[in-house]
Amino acid sequence: MGVTFKVYNDFLIVNLKGELDHHMARMVSEKLDEYLMRQSFKKILFNFKQVNFMDSSGVGMLIGRYKALQKIGGKVGAINVGKQVARIFEISGLFNIIPCFNDEIEASEKM
């Protein structure tokens, strides 16, 4: 379980690894806050490549980020969303506010 960050053009890519439940969502949120205190970004891309599980706590974390970024005119996106995660996106309506792309290249063209 973990989170690493990568800067890509004007994006901050948040690479998630593990199961995005309440336990992990809290950790990701803390680490992301720490990172954003040093350098701010208007575009954040969550990479789900190594996430095979998410529940409503992950949804809450993503909505929190979306709201925070919206206030400063920024955007949140997601890449490499797998099957189980996609179902949670669909049921919770996340697809309507957080666009999903195949990879960071597509995201940087469209976001």
Binding site for another protein (CB under 8 A): 19, 21-23, 25-26, 29, 53, 55-57, 59-61, 63-64, 84, 88, 91-92
Rank residues 19 and 106 by Cβ distance to another protein and give the closer one.
19
Do 100 and 78 meet the contact criterion of CB atoms below 8 Å apart?
Answer: yes
Q: DSSP alpha helices (H): ranges in 1-103?
A: 22-38, 56-71, 83-92
**Separation CA 63–CA 69 (nearest Å):** 10
Rank residues 14 and 61 by Cβ distance to another protein and give the closer one.
61
Cβ at position 50, least distance to another protein in Å: 15
